[in-house]
Each structure stands twice: as C-alpha cells, then as structure tokens.
Amino acid sequence: MATDPAAGARVWFITGASSGFGLALALAALERGDKVIATARTPEQIAWLARRYGDRVATTRLDVTRQSEIDASIAFGIERFGRIDMLVNNAGYGYLAAVEEGEDREIRDLFETNVFGLAAVTRAALPALREGGSGVIINLSSAGGFVGLPGSGYYAASKFAIEGLSEALAREVEPLGLRVMIVEPGPFRTDWAGRSLHQSPVYLPAYEATAGQRRRQVSASSGHQPGDPERGARAIIHAAVSADPPLRLALGRLALETARAKLRSVREDLDAWESLSAATDYARQDSSSDPFTSIPL
C-alpha cells in the first residue's frame, strides 16, 4: 500500500552524513520533525545525532563502494522505520587535475564512489521506494556537473554521469509515483575543498594558466566559499517536499550564473551550426535540393 509521507514524518536515507551537505541535510530534516537514517564510513562520527535526537535517527556504517554494506544499511533502515521516503545520494569527493595530469587509480576510485556507488545505493533502495509508491531520490551533483571547468575534468565527468543517469531515472520512475531531483551546488563552505579534496601530485607547466590556476583558486577558497550549507540544506528540503520538485536545483548565485552562461553558449553553437547539423540526415525525397551538397568538404 502506498504511504503518504505528508501525513506524518518523512524517512530520509542519507549517504555521507558525517559532514558537508549530508550532515546539514540530516540536521535540517531532524529539526523539522522527520526521521533520518544517517550513514557514514565511520558511524562513530555521527553517533551524537542519536544522542541528541533519540529514536528519530538511526546511524549505520556505509561505504558506498561495498555492496554488502549498501544492502545491510538499506535493510537496517527499513527494519528501523518501516520505509524510505527520501533517498539522498550525497557521498562523494572532489579530485583536481588537468586531464593529462590524471592518475589512473585515482580516477577509477573517484568513479567507484561518485558514480558506481550512487548507482548501487539507488538500485538497492528502489524496491522499497517503489513499494511505498511515493518519494524523492535526491542526487548531489555540482555546478561542475553542468559546466566542466579546467582542473576538474574527471570530477566533472563523474558528476556529468550522475546527471545523465538521473535524467533517465526520472523518466523511468515518475509513472511509479517517484521523483528525482539533481542538486547542483556552487562553492559552499563544506569540506569539499579541504580534507575531502584529492589532487594529482603531477603538475605540468603546460597547464599552469588553466588547470594550475584553478587548483590554486580552489585550495585558497577553502573556508571562504560564499555558500551556506545550512541554507542550502533547507533549500533542498523545501524543493524536495514541494508538490512539484524540480529535476534540477542550482544552489548559489555562481551556480546560477555559470549554468545560464553555458545555456547561452550551447544555444549559440546550435544556432550557428544548425544547417550543417540538419544536413547530415538522409536527404528527403520530397526535397527539391539537398543542403549537404552546398557544404564544402
């Protein structure tokens, strides 16, 4: 039988709840009277949540790269609260390197957590979400999941992957009563640019003015970012529990500005090269002329 989360406290399942947006979301959900299954690779770091909020919070170990821990944490949450209404895929980290500077092992580990881990948690939670007949899957992407910037190509690629998966998933689950929301924060004052950030030790002089400059900017910005995680968490919850959650939610003025700039750039390219793009279809039989013949090769 489908549940109606609006009739009572919603149940949130949050990955990476020990810091950053994961912790801010857990606290915001608990403050509004909801229940939270807070997960972390080191659950001892979030044990204080249970002491503060009592039986409305359950904490458990979860490394999203370990399928056994994924299955166990989902089962634990459902046993504790009976259902999952809101799945928050927040676990992940950053990696800075020019594309040529990237290290194979680091790149693969990044995708194991940011992409494959998110997909595995989502697959494991979907049966319970489908059974409930309502709910929202909230995938933490990034402004860098919409606009690729120098020095973060691999991180952007992992977030672009999340966005593509989320778009497809949204169409698959909407008829089942579920919604998907992609969250795209700009720079927020979390630990992303601090302890959670990985960087390649390789520095190639050829990229000093592009990837190198951005690496320095990101490192210097730690602790000074304009985004407030508490406000961001409240905004995410406000959108997620609304009657019509957006597919995308940008957070912060910089995220809005960079997304709009990209949309303008994409439109300009599409319009400028429209004739060439359209001319690559097979010529229509009812067409008096083939536009491709006028294009020099």
Mean pLDDT of 54-61: 97
Q: What is the pLDDT of residues 196-242, one digit of tens each?
A: 789 999 999 999 999 999 998 888 777 778 789 999 999 999 999 99
Nearest to 238 by CA among 55, 36, 31, 92: 31
Instruction: Say whether pTM exceeds 0.75.
Output: yes
The pLDDT value given to residue 291: 62
Q: Pick from 175, 146, 171, 145: which is nearest to 158 by CA?
A: 145
Least confident stretch, 88-92, 271-275, 279-283: 279-283
CA distance to 80, 166, 169, 247, 295, per residue, from 176 (Å)? 24, 15, 11, 16, 47
Long-range contacts of 77-81 (CB under 8 A, 24+ apart): 77/11, 77/13, 77/37, 78/128, 80/37, 81/11, 81/35, 81/37
Class of domain 5-251: alpha beta
Dihedral angle, C-alpha 57, 61, 66, 71, nearest 10 °: -40
Neighbours of 263 (CB within 10 A): 12
Q: Which of 35, 95, 154, 159 is catalytic?
A: 159
Residue 285 has pLDDT above 90, yes or no: no
Give tens-digit pLDDT for 106-155. Answer: 999 999 999 999 999 999 999 999 999 999 999 999 999 999 999 999 99
159 is a catalytic site residue: yes
Catalytic residue among 18, 73, 141, 200: 141
Six-digit token string for 236 = 């995410």
